[in-house]
Amino acid sequence: MARRLYIVSAYRPHLMDELVINLGLSEDTQVFIDRRHGERRSVTRPVKPDGTGADRRRSSIDGALRRHGVAVVEVSPVVVHA
C-alpha cells in the first residue's frame, strides 16, 4: 500500500492542524512542515535527458507549496528481494 506524505509550507503552518483533523491518524499518512530554507528551493539542478528524476518531482512539490501551501507525495513501498 502506498503512503501519502503531506508537506505543509513553513509559511502556512495552520494548514497542518487542519490536515491532521481532516485526515485523522493513519499508518499510511504523514503530515509535516517543510523545513527547507530559501536558497535550496531556488537551486537549479540538471535534469536527466529523459526528463525524469527527483529534480522534476522537487519542482512540482515546490510549485504546490507556493500555490496551495501544501504538497502531497505518494510513496510506494520498497520491495527487497533476498
Residues 19-73 pLDDT 10s? 988 888 788 889 999 988 765 445 555 555 555 555 555 788 899 999 999 999 9
- pLDDT at position 49 is 59
Name beta bridge partners: 31.
6
pTM for the structure as a whole: 0.67
The single-letter DSSP state of residue 40 is H
70 within 8 A of 14, measured Cβ to Cβ? no
Domain that holds residue 54: 3-75
In a domain, 80, yes or no: no
Instruction: Decide if 82 is inside a domain.
Output: no
Q: Would residue 51 count as lying in a domain?
A: yes
Number of domains in the chain: 1
Look at residue 49 and tell me if it is in a domain: yes
Residue 81 located in a structural domain? no
Indicate whether 32 belongs to any domain.
yes
Question: Which residues are paired to 70 by β-bridges?
Answer: 8
pLDDT for 76 equals: 85
List all residues 6 or more positions away from 60 whose beta carbon is below 8 Å from its beta carbon.
Answer: 71
